[in-house]
Structure formats: C-alpha cells, structure tokens
Amino acid sequence: MDFGWTPEDNAFRSEVRSFIRKTIPPNWDEMNLDEEEEEVYAQEFARKLLPTKWRVMHWPEAYGGLGYGAWRQLIFSEEVTYHRFPGAWDGGNMVVAPLLMHAGTDDQKRRFLGPIANADYSWCQLFTEPESGSDLASLRTRAVLTGDDYVVNGQKVFNTGAHLADWGLLACRTDTEVPKHRGISFLLVDMKSPGVTVRPLINLTGAHAQNEVFLEDVRVPKDHLVGRENEGWYLLVSALSSERGGINRATQAKRLLDDVTGFVASTAYNGRPIGKRPEVRNRLAELAIAIDLARWVFYRAIWAQVNGMDPTRENSASKIMGGEVSQRLASTAMNMMGLYGQLNRRSKYTPLQGRIEMMYKETVYYTIGLGTSEINRNVIAQRGLGLPRG
C-alpha cells in the first residue's frame, strides 16, 4: 500500500501554502477579533479565493467548479485548516451545494449555486431541536403546505452562524401520519423572512457562534422544497455523514500539537527544557499517534467514496477519533502549562495566544455536536459490523 502523494498533488499542496502565506497576515488570529469582525475577515479572504476556484474545486465543471477529485479537496482542506485560514469551513459550499446538485431543481441550481460559489450568501443549518438532537428523526418542526407556500412552525437550537446567515437549510416534518423517518422534508428558508427569530447562545469560551431559532408562521415558497416531499431523511443522512467525516478536527489537533511541541521544546522549568521530561515526551508521542490514526481513518473514508463504496462507518469513526483526541490534547496541554494554560488570549502572559484555554473549553463540544460519540458508535456497530439495533 502506497501512502504517498503524486507529484501533481504535492505541487498543488505547495501552491495552496504559497497562496496562504501571501494572502493572510501571519498574525491574523492574534488580532483578538470578535465574532462579527472575524466573519467580515473570513468573507474578505473567501473572495480572494474566487479567482483560483479552489472553494468549488470539487464541484463539477458544469456548475462552475474545477471537477477535481476528492483527494485534491482533502489537500486543500488540510492546508487551510492547519494554517487557520479564516472561514475555512463553509456550510453553503460543503453541505448545501452538494445537496442541490444531487436533488435540487434546475431553478434552485441556477438561483443558489452561483451565489454560494461567489461567497455572496452565507448559510446555516436548521436541524437540531431541543428534544431532537442525535435522534434527528424525532424532530417536530412542522411545515404545512397552504396554497403556494409551506407554513412553518417550530424551534431549532445550536445553529452555528444563524445570526449571520442569509439562508438556512431546514429539516422539518411535512407528514405526521407516517413513521418518523418518512415524513421529513428539506426547505430553503430566507433567514430574513417574517416570523424568523434568532437568539444567541453564548458558549463556554464566551463566543457567540451558535443560536436558537424560532419559526412562527414562516411562509416558505413551495418551490424551495429540496427533493421530494417526505423523503428528506435520506438526504439528511447523507448530509450528516459527509459533515461528520470532515478532516478538520484531526488537522486542528495536529496544528495545536505542533504548537505545544514547539513550546515545551523551547521552554525551561528549573533550568531544564520541559520537552526533556519523559512523561511529557510520552504523552505527546501518544497523541501524535492518535492524531495520525484519525487522519488515516478519514483517508480511508475518501478512498471508499472514490471507489464507490459507502463511507458512513469511516466518517463516523473519524468524527469520534478527531473529537476525542482533541479533548485529550487540550487537557494534556492545560496540565503541562499549569496556571499559564488558563489565561485567555487577552492576557499578555498567556502562552500560544491563549489557544490552550480556548481549546480546553471548545473541545467539550466536539464529542457532542454532529451526533454524540455514543450515537456514532451505534452507527459503526450497525452499518460497519452488521449488528442489530440495541
């Protein structure tokens, strides 16, 4: 088995790195931007990507993409995540666009794909509900077709970027008389529609990234239905599988591990570099192995996808491994740095621009969002091992 990249792949990786160095100030993530300032910054750099078409490299050429395969997209994702490229993950590009290409009408493709490619619209996902998280088939938000519109009522929660989004991808129930998996549909919702209320949810890091969204008699044109009515569950499973399989968690962990390794190698305690202590070296080596394993499991998911196989098991496995190793790394780094690790990025004494303090809090979410680790282990048991439902 050859784990190497082709010369063309290596040349592309070098090209992406060169673009990042020329385009992004090296200290951009040390500017202490608030969430809205960071979003503006991310939009600015997203537009600088437009001439390269790298944002849509995985799109078919018929839709304005480059028609590159999944491996090139993987290289790009690894590089922009590792270098902390602002706005590296775009739900409109990575989730909504593939959904429209697969199940959207010609009119929906003409209307939405161009603005997504040009970063004109920002998108959010309206999936999770207060009583419907990992078991999304139990969602209750109701959409009733009345004339030419669906009238939507319900509540969504933990919606990343909903306060900044122009459009939302809504999972809702359009039939209550059938088994729960068969009555779900997807709608494209204008987030400025009357009846849409967005309220902030402040997370452990003090950031406003997520929200709860209330929909009260929101009218959505019936031509904003994606796919067939009541068949949205199958589209939802595909969207979640793709999102769970992102390489971002493992790549973020690799970058943080490199930062922590540099810190302990250059920092002394009682005249002795921290990196010479056996327990420090062993823990970091174990984490390096775990991070590589998480990356390689995702590589296997890409291999399965390219070869026409179902990558659901691998996507769930890489999601579990990337989230759990990130938590272990953040906890290990916090212990190594002692009280300094608890300082946030606004303190002049904080090491590594306060990333340890932030990641220690932020990674709590990594084993919960996009399906808990327990749910994903059930997916692996059923879809990967062929075991019956528990």
Report the catalytic residues.
243
Within 13 Å and on the Cβ side, how many CA atoms surround 186? 26
Beta-bridge partner residues of 171 = 186
Helix (H, G, I), strand (E, B) or coil at 145: strand
Beta-bridge partner residues of 144 = 151
Residue 361 near residue 369, CB atoms below 8 Å: no
DSSP letters for 174-233: S-SSS-GGGSEEEEEEETTSTTEEEEEEE-TTS-EEEEEEEEEEEEEEGGGEESSTTBHH
CB count within 10 Å of CB 135 equals: 11
CB count within 10 Å of CB 233 equals: 19
Helix (H, G, I), strand (E, B) or coil at 5: coil
Residue 124 near residue 168, CB atoms below 8 Å: yes
